């Protein structure tokens, strides 16, 4: 019998002087919490990230999908593209959201993981490198870890890099990035998939791989009390 979907709770998140929109799902007795960092030009409404988040929720993981930019910043970025590739800026926003989660009673005890897509994956890796004791796992979907090359050796969180087999340029970038990582990591190639994983079954495979990785690497409860 199919599990009942948990409806996301809209949130306004205080992050270093700005308010960011988010959608939070906390299943009963959540095993951990995965913070999503969307890719360039996307948002928390990304159908691909929401599809992955739904699978994680069904497998007992909490999820938070957020807009890393405010509406006014999104307007600027749509015209200039200047913020979507500002990886330190985006990573700072992720860290601020992580602090917000640690300040809430219902989420502070949950072990935290990051799921990043495209440029969001680079931001997730930079933020994870800055917080080695707080981020327990990272998953990248079609990510650009090459944009975080200066921190890859400092990432301590076990990292899964998922790339489509037909996304050849990004695959080459991920292969180089994997060679620079010191922490536990794996490069998983989804055969026949292109950058957006739009092929039949491709996104389902991404969701399965991501859920397995987080469940294998997020402790049932963080060490914070």
What local confidence, expressed as pLDDT, does residue 41 receive? Answer: 58
Q: Is residue 2 part of a domain?
A: no
Indicate which CATH number applies to the domain containing 171.
3.40.50.1820
Lowest pLDDT segment from 1-15, 16-30, 130-144, 164-178: 1-15
Residues 6+ apart with CB under 8 A from 10: 21, 22, 23
Residue that is written with structure tokens 């990304």 in the block: 46
pLDDT in tens, 56-108: 999 999 999 998 988 888 888 888 878 888 999 999 999 999 999 999 999 99
CA dist list (Å): 19 to 6, 34, 72? 24, 20, 11
- Structurally, the chain folds into a number of domains equal to 1
Given a cut of 80, whether residue 5 has pLDDT beyond it is no
Query: 222 φ, ψ to 5°?
Result: -70, 165
Q: Is residue 1 part of a domain?
A: no
Residue among 107, 117, 110, 123 at smallest CA distance from 207: 117
Given a cut of 50, whether residue 1 has pLDDT beyond it is no
Q: With both helix axes pointing from N to C terminus, report the angle between 202-217 and 47-58 in degrees, rounded to the nearest 10.
A: 50
What local confidence, expressed as pLDDT, does residue 85 receive? Answer: 87
Instruction: Using CB atoms within 10 Å of the CB of residue 17, give its burial: 0 to 12 exposed, 13 to 18 middle, 19+ buried.
Output: exposed
Given a cut of 80, whether residue 200 has pLDDT beyond it is yes
Residues 136, 203, 8, 76, CA torsion sign: positive
What is the rounded CA–CA span in Å between residue 204 and residue 48? 10
Strands (E), the chain: 9-15, 18-25, 33-37, 62-66, 112-117, 135-141, 159-164, 185-190
Report percent pLDDT > 90 for the chain.
Answer: 74
Q: Is residue 158 part of a domain?
A: yes
pLDDT in tens, 20-54: 999 999 999 899 999 999 876 566 667 788 899 99
Given a cut of 50, whether residue 185 has pLDDT beyond it is yes
Q: Is residue 224 part of a domain?
A: no
Q: Is residue 199 part of a domain?
A: yes
Could you tell me the residue range of the domain that residue 133 belongs to? 9-217
Q: Is residue 187 part of a domain?
A: yes
What is the rounded CA–CA span in Å between residue 72 and residue 117? 22
Q: Is residue 167 part of a domain?
A: yes
Given a cut of 90, whether residue 189 has pLDDT beyond it is yes
Q: Is residue 223 part of a domain?
A: no
């Amino acid at each position: 019998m199919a599990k009942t979907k948990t409806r996301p709770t809209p949130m306004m998140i205080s992050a270093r002087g700005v308010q960011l929109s988010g959608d939070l799902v906390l299943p009963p007795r959540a095993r951990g919490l995965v913070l999503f960092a969307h890719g360039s030009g996307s948002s928390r409404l990304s159908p691909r990230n929401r599809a992955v988040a739904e699978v994680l929720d069904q497998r007992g993981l909490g999820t938070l999908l957020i807009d890393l930019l405010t509406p006014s910043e999104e307007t600027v970025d749509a015209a200039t593209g200047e913020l979507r590739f500002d990886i330190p800026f985006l990573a700072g926003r992720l860290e601020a959201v992580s602090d917000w989660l640690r300040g809430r009673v219902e989420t502070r005890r949950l072990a935290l993981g990051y799921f990043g897509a495209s440029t969001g994956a680079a931001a997730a890796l930079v933020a994870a490198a800055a917080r080695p004791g707080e981020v327990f796992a990272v998953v990248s979907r079609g990510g650009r870890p090459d944009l975080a090359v200066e921190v890859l050796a400092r990432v301590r969180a076990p990292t899964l890099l998922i790339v489509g087999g037909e996304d050849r340029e990004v695959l080459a970038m991920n292969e180089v990035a994997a060679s620079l990582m010191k922490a536990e990591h794996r490069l998983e190639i989804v055969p026949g998939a292109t950058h957006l994983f739009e092929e039949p079954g491709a996104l389902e495979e991404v969701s399965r791989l991501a859920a397995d990785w987080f469940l294998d690497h997020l402790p049932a409860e963080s060490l914070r009390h």
